[in-house]
Chains A and B, each alone.
Chain A
Amino acid sequence: MHRTLGALATDLKLRAQTGLELLSEVSAQRLSPRRVAASDELRYVECEAQALLERGLDDPDEAEAATPDYVALSEQLAQVEDFDLPFLVRHSEADAASTALCDALLTQINWPYHSFLVGTFSCEYYWTLPPRAVICSPAGEDRRLLGIGDLCHELGHTVCDRDLDTILGSFTRDLMGYVRSHINSPPPAVGSPRDFYHELLDSWRGWGIELACDVVATYLVGPAFLWQHLRLTLMRERLASLFEPLSGEIHPADDARFRTAAAALSLMGFEVERSELEERWRGALDALGHTPDQLYTTTYPDELVEKLAESVVEGSRALGLRPYDPNAGPSDDVAVLANRAWEALHDRPSEYARWEREALAGAHSAWSQ
């Protein structure tokens, strides 16, 4: 191992140096603070790798003692390689446009946390890594408005990361109370009630994060999030899980996600919009031929769906986030723009492409001032 570790420590130092070279070619002024932060981290790894090499790794005992340090440094370097370099080194005009939209949104909603660098090169739909302050969207999202709801879902992950207790505190108490009061009821599936409700508790604790992000998104952009959820479900129908219980999975059933977001919409006073969306959602379910079974309805009871929506809406208010208000702002208000986009698509589909292009151009012009 000692010879290997010496070689790997050399490689570690070279990897850090390669990253520094790549970052030295990043010239955009707007990226400067992030470039400096990533460079500092790489320089630290470079110095520590050199220190490792100077520890005399030819000695097997020393090499063994140094191995955990190598692993920790390598992990730290991988964070920069995986989540900083691609966003900085390949930063494009499309990324700059999406980052500008995100910045405008954050200002408008009274965002209390850090801003994000948005990349438009994801092959896994939207994703975020809150500790690295990055969001990645599929290509082309910089030119579209319909997916803004999903951008807001990713913001929800940072809210959960920073203030989970405020967002899900009361729900967790309700969830445990629910499990305790139902644990002797016969479950719809084979197996003991105890096993079923233990699994339900674990699953809901995991789903709670994703559902909380959906509710945060609904809180921020209102109906536009549910329209986008319907769009996403249908455009990836083969992958959709409308009524599958999905126990143990990270993402809950798509219908449960819709119901939770719809409950949040009601809490915000958008009953008319909720009715319309529910009608469209049911129409989609009918068209696809999906129907819920008893296992689904027991796994996703209305009581938990509503309690979660209440907890997250209250938590969002407590954090001072601005709820969606159709009359809130000028035409460059991102949340208003997202909802107008859906209205324009429904009302004048043949004119939508031109409308979207012009609306985005006008908004970018306002955001850059």
Chain B
Amino acid sequence: MMSDIGFLSHEYAQASRLAENLEEALAEAELAPQHAISLQRRQRLSLALRSLVDLLEPEQADAPDPGSALALPVTLVRQLRKRQYAGSAYSAAIAGLADRLRDRDAAIENGDVALLRELAGAAETEATRARRRMVRR
């Protein structure tokens, strides 16, 4: 039996880091008027979400950023691929949010915060799954 711990540890670290980044952004958005998020965080988040969209819809990816794509857990992409958001493909909702985050003048709406919250939850779930598989073999 080959052990999966090395890979699972990697997935756990990536999913935890992503969940943490999303939670920090959420905390900032929920406290600030009109959900204003700092420019630096908006850019970082936009890049990560754009890479998520590229992985969900590789046929649409014009110039994927391998660095950001590598930081996204494989299991999360698999899970999101199966989901829908407000009746549409998940990738479309994330692409919209990534575009709004990139545009410094675009307002962050309640729906965007809800999507961020769902993504943070999904990343946290994948971190927990990876951890559970690591320690409960």
Q: A residues within 8 Å of B by Cβ?
A: 75, 78, 82, 122-131, 154, 157, 160-161, 164-165, 168-173, 176, 179-180, 183, 194, 197-198, 201-202, 205-206, 209-210, 213, 239, 248, 250-251
> Nearest residue in B to A193 (C-beta to C-beta)?
B59
Question: Is the C-beta of B135 less than 8 angstroms from some C-beta in chain A?
Answer: yes
Q: Given that A180-B61, A198-B81 are contacting pairs, would A172 and B6 also be in contact in the complex, using a CB cutoff of 8 Å?
A: no
> Nearest residue in B to A179 (C-beta to C-beta)?
B58
- Shortest Cβ distance from A148 into chain B, in angstroms? 17
Contact between chains at B69 and A129 (CB < 8 Å) = no
Contact between chains at A161 and B67 (CB < 8 Å) = no
Q: Give per-residue flags for B52-68: 1 if the beta carbon is below 8 A from chain A beta carbons, else 0.
A: 00110011010010110
Contact between chains at B6 and A129 (CB < 8 Å) = yes
- Shortest Cβ distance from A144 into chain B, in angstroms? 18
Contact between chains at B13 and A127 (CB < 8 Å) = no
Q: How many residues of B contact A (CB 8 A)?
A: 29
Inside 8 A of A126's CB, which chain B residues have their CB? 3
Contact between chains at A127 and B6 (CB < 8 Å) = yes
> Nearest residue in A to B3 (C-beta to C-beta)?
A127
> Nearest residue in B to A156 (C-beta to C-beta)?
B6
Interface of B is mostly: helix
> Nearest residue in B to A181 (C-beta to C-beta)?
B59
Interface of A is mostly: helix
Contact between chains at A125 and B1 (CB < 8 Å) = yes
With A and B bound together, what is the CA distance between A80 and B3 in angstroms?
19
Question: Is the C-beta of B77 less than 8 angstroms from some C-beta in chain A?
Answer: yes
Q: Give per-residue flags for B61-97: 1 if the beta carbon is below 8 A from chain A beta carbons, else 0.
A: 1001011011000100110010000000000000000
- Shortest Cβ distance from A254 into chain B, in angstroms? 10
With A and B bound together, what is the CA distance between A251 and B3 in angstroms?
9
> Nearest residue in A to B133 (C-beta to C-beta)?
A250
> Nearest residue in A to B55 (C-beta to C-beta)?
A201
In the complex, besides A176-B64, A176-B66, A176-B69, 14 extra interface pairs with C-beta distance below 8 angstroms are A124-B3, A125-B1, A125-B2, A127-B3, A130-B9, A130-B10, A160-B10, A165-B66, A197-B59, A198-B81, A206-B7, A209-B6, A239-B1, A250-B7
Contact between chains at B58 and A198 (CB < 8 Å) = yes
Question: Is the C-beta of B131 less than 8 angstroms from some C-beta in chain A?
Answer: yes
With A and B bound together, what is the CA distance between A230 and B97 in angstroms?
49
- Shortest Cβ distance from B131 into chain A, in angstroms? 7
Which residue of B3, B74, B135 is within 8 Å of A125 (Cβ)? B3
